[in-house]
Structure 1
Amino acid sequence: MSDMPWADVDPLPHLNGDLTSVLDSVRSLQRAWKEVVNANDAAFREARRRSLRRHAVETGIIERLYDVDWGVTEALVAEGLTADAVARASDGSVSEDVLDIIRSQYDALEFLCEAARQGREVSISLIRELHVALTRLQPTYTATGPNGIVFRATLHHGEWKTQPNHVTRSDGSRLEYTPPEHVAAQMDALVELHRSMEGVDPLVRAAWLHHRFVRIHPFEDGNGRVARCLTLLGLLKCDMAPLVVDRRERDRYLTCLDRANEGDLRPLIRFFAELEIVALRSELERPLTGAETTAAAGGALAVLGAGIERLRGLQAETGAAERARRVADLAGSVQERIETWLGDMAHQFDTMLKDGIDPQSFASVKSAAPPDERARYWRWQMIRAAQSVDFFANLHDGAWWTRLRLVALGQELRYLVFLQKVGRGETGVLALTVYAETLGRDASCQGPHQEADTVVVSTPTETVTWIYTDAPETHWENVEAVLDTTLAASLHKFTSGLG
């Protein structure tokens, strides 16, 4: 493809396509989210801190500023941005310098939350302040001179760039950002156009601002981090949760931005909408009651008594029984569709493997649903899948699970699809997650204690979420897409180990 020259900031184009469904899903989940977080300030604050800590870690990884192992990231998110949290993680370490950068990025996010609470609008001064806050511990950046030599240059915090910059796209063409002499005027135009879009859906408006800001690239470095903060500001001002673009979604994120460069903003809007669903879902938490918080000093019986009272309160909530009934009906109907889909796949897999690979191979599908005791099987895998996409899985009665089992040449694939209630109590929210594992053919490892190898776990955009008022077919197209993508990845790992 030919090079793409810089262009003036343009207003939001007309959006054709299938965005209505995903944006409606966000609004429905936001209503359920508000019912919980408005009445539970302690839980809301802790869930929000977790979201901001995750953003603080991942935003630098997206930009290749540093690398942090996944286990360490989970410890930092759950426990706080401390060296002690890193020390308790089992699979990596983080230098104090990197921790300081992450903390400074977290401080910038807290500044952003305060700006949202104060009702501050996007402005030139706010954008400059954000850049200073995000990059204050970054003295230099990687620059390329006119002769192509790469060197470390001084980063000027909060100041517009003075040298032209560009990026090479995946096809080898060059995408030019706004030249330095036009940055001030283009940023003024960006802010004015953004202000004129107050009636636009918050996610559409956020995606437009995000892309147009990146297209200008007004700073020497840190533009992506500022753009993601501006996205959060717009969402927070509209009572939405701070979405997180993590390392698993980096490739899709960059692809969506490039599609926007070519004039199609819809993929980026859909991407942000899916991440917002994940963010809202992750904050559906319930706090400990005051009695539970103080009961610890009273010993074991006091703790148990306070916990029982909390559970009674959750069960007695207005509408809880109705939400529970409707979620169960919804999950049962969706599970039937999943069983049929996987059953068709299993039949085809069985035929293909028997004909071409192993006459003794077979494929089968099983499932279970509450109140069947088998609904409690796969608990560890259910929790792992829920944690992978950052939500609390309510497994009080188990979950609706469907398993595709594939055996060939002594190896086994277990592909598991879970329908799990989200949050403590009856929130009325249901999520689909996926987990796949393989068992090898090492004879020394066979038996009941043989350990399985994890091959696939849902990523944030490889999930589907329903509200109890949804119809079973509401998100079926998304379900098929998730099943097809994750099953293909599972089969790739499985078949790679056969030969």
Structure 2
Amino acid sequence: MNIPWREVEPLPKLNGAVEPILLTVDSLHAAWKRSIEQAPPAEFAEARQRSLRRHAIETGIIERLYDLDWGVTEALVAEGITAEVAAREGGVSEDAFNLMRDQLGALEYLVEAVQEQRELSSFFIRELHQLITQHQPTYDARDALGRAVQVPLPRGEWKSQPNHVRRPDGTVLEYTPPEQVASQIERLVELYRDTAGKHPVARAAWLHHRFICIHPFADGNGRVARALTLLVLLQGHYAPLVVDRRNRAEYIRALDAANDGDLRHLVRLFAELEIVSLRAELERPALTSPAVSSAAAVIAAHAQRVLERERTLDVAEGAGALALRRELRSRVVRWLQRIAAEVQQAYVPIDPKATVDVDLRRVRALVTVRGHRLEYTVVIRTVADTGACDVRVLALAQQARGDAHPSTYRGAVLLSDLPPNDRAVAVAPDTLQAIWPDVEELLDRTFTLAVDRFTRGLYAE
């Protein structure tokens, strides 16, 4: 079954389902703007450059153009996508390095275009594609017999052959035919201008998806679409978000939901990733002079930030955030107490002496089965001076040392290797009712994940 292409559709009216998370974005955005005003320009510029480098690396990984382990990725993000860092890390091919450099160059060009207040246009889109694919000579295609072949990639030129994608359910989603691309891109640009005044995150999600629906190039459409997302956010004076490899499955599901007419999933995902970006800027790590590299200097820098934070904590949190944190804590504890009884009963066939205790002070559940322990902790804290509260989880599995020391454990293993946006943020007490389903879903999903991995470890060799 084929799903025929459609003309570019305007930004739909989004119902109240996305309003709470956009409210959270705006609350953090206000604090982020104040943070920028107070931060040294060089510090902000370096933070922005790190975001661009991460985007440049991850956008190619999302497309399966190359793969990097996290250690190499973090080195390139922190120090720069340079031949020296790549050679030192020993895990970057020349082709991957060139693609990342091209993608970074395109993003830097985009930042300059925003600073110069250039408008979105079909010419600009083609320029972006040409820069992104500068060192990509070919792309994967199929010949008339269905065989995989390498075809020269026309850089900065609209596609000349139809393209489509087969969805998981077997249906074929058709993109805009070649002869309609130019007119549909012009329509996209015009409708984008009409969205002025709408929330930048919603605009970004809309532009991203509608561009993907056109699929105007033979290859590189996803990378251009993610660059255009950055364009929208920078034009709206928001932080650049990054879709990374851990978000890939959720990102594809959100795009697929948008193909079926529901843009809200993509808006929510982009809002979550924007929250991650804003929070990262608000919680910048302590910086030290390049000339100072001793452990003592690093500790001193962190200590200074801790002292500064403690001096402003009362002002930063305020009565509203304190009330919100207390109510969130109370609800989470009740959730843990309810689930604890169910989980303990479920473990009885495995170990009649299994226990599941809830530590009220530290907001955590302690599961003990056959000498093994699972520690599931919920961390609730105020985010900078925003009045918002951040909810995240940490799960550790531990083994008992032996019969001689039944209450001491060893071999702690982190179980919650979750995407950076896998957390919830509540803004104010009067929004808690709206955001609580998201918090509860986060708790249920992550606790289920932790229990599953912990239980598998009970019978693993």
Normalised TM-score (structure 2) = 0.89
Equivalent residue for 2:418? Answer: 458
Instruction: Classify the secondary structure of the residue corresponding to 2:25.
Output: helix
Deviation at 1:446, TM superposition (A): 8.2
The separation in 2 between residues aligned to 1:302 and 1:411, in whole angstroms, is 39
Deviation at 1:239, TM superposition (A): 0.8
Q: Deviations over 1:273-301 (max 9, x none)?
A: 11111111111146979xx759969x999
The separation in 1 between residues aligned to 2:455 and 2:297, in whole angstroms, is 54
Instruction: Work out whether residues 20 and 431 of structure 2, in 8 Å CA contact, stay in contact via their aligned partners in 1.
Output: no
Instruction: Classify the secondary structure of the residue corresponding to 2:157.
Output: coil
The separation in 1 between residues aligned to 2:295 and 2:257, in whole angstroms, is 57
Identity of aligned residues (%): 46
Equivalent residue for 2:51? Answer: 51
Runs of at least 5 residues in structure 2 that lack an aligned partner in the other structure: none
Deviation at 1:68, TM superposition (A): 0.8
Deviation at 1:53, TM superposition (A): 1.3
The separation in 2 between residues aligned to 1:208 and 1:332, in whole angstroms, is 37
The separation in 1 between residues aligned to 2:394 and 2:412, in whole angstroms, is 12
Instruction: Work out whether residues 295 and 302 of structure 1, in 8 Å CA contact, stay in contact via their aligned partners in 2.
Output: no
Residue type matched to 1:450 in 2?
Answer: R
Runs of at least 5 residues in structure 1 that lack an aligned partner in the other structure: 369-400
The separation in 2 between residues aligned to 1:456 and 1:316, in whole angstroms, is 32
Deviation at 1:12, TM superposition (A): 2.1
Instruction: Classify the secondary structure of the residue corresponding to 1:457.
Output: coil
* 1:408 matches 2:401: no
Deviation at 1:194, TM superposition (A): 1.1
Instruction: Classify the secondary structure of the residue corresponding to 1:146.
Output: coil
Choose 231-240 or 459-468, whichever is displaced more.
459-468
Deviation at 1:303, TM superposition (A): 9.8
Deviation at 1:74, TM superposition (A): 2.1
The separation in 2 between residues aligned to 1:7 and 1:306, in whole angstroms, is 56
The separation in 1 between residues aligned to 2:405 and 2:65, in whole angstroms, is 43
Q: 2:144 aligns with which of 134, 146, 155?
A: 146
Structure 1 segments (4+ residues) deviating >3 Å: 82-89, 285-289, 292-297, 299-317, 324-330, 420-423, 426-430, 440-449, 466-474
Instruction: Work out whether residues 400 and 410 of structure 2, in 8 Å CA contact, stay in contact via their aligned partners in 1.
Output: no
Q: Deviations over 1:314-367 (max 9, x none)?
A: 6666xx53224544554333222211111111111112212x221011111214
The separation in 1 between residues aligned to 2:267 and 2:403, in whole angstroms, is 50
Instruction: Work out whether residues 83 and 96 of structure 1, in 8 Å CA contact, stay in contact via their aligned partners in 2.
Output: no
Instruction: Classify the secondary structure of the residue corresponding to 1:456.
Output: coil
The change in CA–CA distance for 1:27 and 1:173 in structure 2 (over 3 A counts) is same
Q: Deviations over 1:447-490 (max 9, x none)?
A: 85722222213323311224578765563222111111111111
The change in CA–CA distance for 1:287 and 1:167 in structure 2 (over 3 A counts) is closer
Instruction: Work out whether residues 27 and 388 of structure 2, in 8 Å CA contact, stay in contact via their aligned partners in 1.
Output: no
Instruction: Work out whether residues 331 and 419 of structure 1, in 8 Å CA contact, stay in contact via their aligned partners in 2.
Output: yes
The change in CA–CA distance for 1:308 and 1:187 in structure 2 (over 3 A counts) is closer
The separation in 1 between residues aligned to 2:291 and 2:131, in whole angstroms, is 41
Choose 43-52 or 301-310, whichever is displaced more.
301-310
Choose 58-67 or 406-415, whichever is displaced more.
406-415
Q: Deviations over 1:92-128 (max 9, x none)?
A: 8222331222122111111111111112221111101
The separation in 2 between residues aligned to 1:146 and 1:156, in whole angstroms, is 20
Instruction: Classify the secondary structure of the residue corresponding to 2:3.
Output: coil
Instruction: Work out whether residues 334 and 473 of structure 1, in 8 Å CA contact, stay in contact via their aligned partners in 2.
Output: no
Equivalent residue for 1:364? Answer: 357
Q: 2:393 aligns with which of 414, 421, 434?
A: 434
The change in CA–CA distance for 1:286 and 1:408 in structure 2 (over 3 A counts) is closer
The separation in 1 between residues aligned to 2:191 and 2:386, in whole angstroms, is 38
Instruction: Classify the secondary structure of the residue corresponding to 1:363.
Output: strand
Deviation at 1:271, TM superposition (A): 1.1
Instruction: Classify the secondary structure of the residue corresponding to 2:364.
Output: strand
Equivalent residue for 1:255? Answer: 253
The change in CA–CA distance for 1:451 and 1:10 in structure 2 (over 3 A counts) is same
Q: 2:243 aligns with which of 236, 242, 245?
A: 245
The separation in 2 between residues aligned to 1:351 and 1:302, in whole angstroms, is 51
Choose 467-476 or 301-310, whichever is displaced more.
301-310
Deviation at 1:433, TM superposition (A): 1.7
Instruction: Classify the secondary structure of the residue corresponding to 1:438.
Output: strand
